[in-house]
Structure 1
Amino acid sequence: MARRKDKSVDFKEALQGKKLPILTLDDRWYQLIPEHEKTASIKQLENNLNNLIKKQGKMITDIKEMKKLKKKLMSEIVANMEPDNSAAGRLKAKKLEKSHQLIEDINTKMQNADDNLLDMPYEIKKANEELMVESMKLCYAKLTQNQKDIKELDVWILKTREMLKVRILEKQDKEIENSSLYSYMHNILGNTVIDVLDDKE
């Protein structure tokens, strides 16, 4: 007996070359996968994706802050460019040295941050695709279940329709029979007896 292919492989293949929106930033995804239907796996992947997006945002903010600080330090270097042997000059020289050291540290941190930031779109894309595959699994399961329910409902509706036809005919037969009985009794017994029967209804 041949082993059934894992559906997630089909879903991954279906996503090849597709430009997906970031699911947790897309209202349509929340309509498709309401909170009460999310599996533990979907919740975990959703958190992972949101954390990566936050991390990317923080990295961008940190880089901006480092650039601002570097600019400020560069201004301080320019202001302290010509130290002399006086006490004020020696203080300027110390500030200059400290600013140079801080700029070197900032440059190293910015380089690392830029390198990490370059990887973020790929990490986010991967996490987004993983969430999409799990979402597709859930949707596929719902579609399959709905299809099964639709078939069962079709059978029920057909049976009920047939039963309804039978009941309608049965009702019509009873109405025709009552009409005949009423007419027959009226002809034989007259209005007085029929009025008594009518009062009992």
Structure 2
Amino acid sequence: MFAKFGEDNVNNIELDENIILKNRVPILVRDDDWMELFGETDDKNIKKYKKDLEELLKEQKKIEREISHWNKEKLKCMRMILGISDAINNGEKIESVDLLDEYKEKIYWINETIDELTFKLETIPRDIRNLNYELLKATVNYGYIELKDKEEKLSNISSELEDLRERLRSIINEKHDYEEWINDTYTFLHRMLGSKEIERLDREIFE
């Protein structure tokens, strides 16, 4: 199938960059079939893009957790501000004005932190797509080299099997010929000499 497909052709493979979207290509390192076929390969390009992609996915999860954490902290601060403001407005705790400013400053800082994290998070899907595309290209390159190699090995094995089958057929025919000659010879000797004489000769000759 790949007899005319040289390694130079493999290394020059180009893929449509939109193929990821058009074919709904999954994130390869999360695809069971890809992991089974290529997850443990020693190909340097696959290993590199796989590692980079896995690290980027971890970074994405980390940022999502951080945003969730800071949103919870922001909610706590807002509740504190409401409580302190109510106390101040009721004239109960005038001295809490400084504490109110502290929480307002903390919310300002949290908002900036969330904005920075959100900006980072928004750029990651594009980077994931790009890395997944590079990993797909590396997979196709490696896959076709392996396909060509294994097709050749399969062809050689198939040829060896056919030789073995032919040899086996020859041996079986030879076996049948020997068995037929032995049976015919014993039949003839039995007819000529009788069973008692044959038994005596068998003991003398074969024992």
Deviation at 1:139, TM superposition (A): 3.2
User: What residue number does 2:183 align with?
Assistant: 179
Normalization by structure 1: what TM-score?
0.77
Deviation at 1:69, TM superposition (A): 2.0
Change (3 A) 1:60 1:156: same
Measure, in 1, the Cα distance between the counterparts of 2:105 and 2:118: 20
Measure, in 2, the Cα distance between the counterparts of 1:68 and 1:12: 43
User: What residue number does 1:100 align with?
Assistant: 104
User: What residue number does 1:113 align with?
Assistant: 117
Letter in 2 for 1:20: V
Letter in 1 for 2:49: L
Tell me the percent identity: 26
Tell me, yes or no, if structure 1 residue 192 matches structure 2 residue 196. Answer: yes
Letter in 1 for 2:30: L
Query: How many residue pairs get matched?
Result: 195
Unaligned runs of 5+ in 1: none
Normalization by structure 2: what TM-score?
0.75
Contact map agreement 1:11 1:136 (CA 8 A) in 2? no
The 5-angstrom pairing of residues 33-112 of structure 1 reads 33=38, 35=40, 37-81=41-85, 88-89=93-94, 91-112=95-116
Measure, in 2, the Cα distance between the counterparts of 1:5 and 1:13: 19
Deviation at 1:117, TM superposition (A): 0.7
User: Pick from 32, 47, 72: which aligns with 2:37?
Assistant: 32
Deviation at 1:182, TM superposition (A): 2.5
Deviation at 1:70, TM superposition (A): 2.1
Residues 69-104 of structure 1: per-residue CA shift (max 9 Å, x gap):
2222233333444869x9x53x42322322232222
Measure, in 2, the Cα distance between the counterparts of 1:50 and 1:142: 24
Contact map agreement 2:85 2:100 (CA 8 A) in 1? yes
Unaligned runs of 5+ in 2: 1-6
Contact map agreement 1:8 1:133 (CA 8 A) in 2? no
User: What residue number does 1:169 align with?
Assistant: 173
Change (3 A) 1:97 1:193: same
Q: Secondary structure at the match of 2:25?
A: coil
Residues 180-199 of structure 1: per-residue CA shift (max 9 Å, x gap):
43344334444333112334
Q: Please give the root-mean-square deviation of Cα atoms over the aligned residues, in Å.
A: 3.1
Deviation at 1:6, TM superposition (A): 4.5
Change (3 A) 1:179 1:108: same
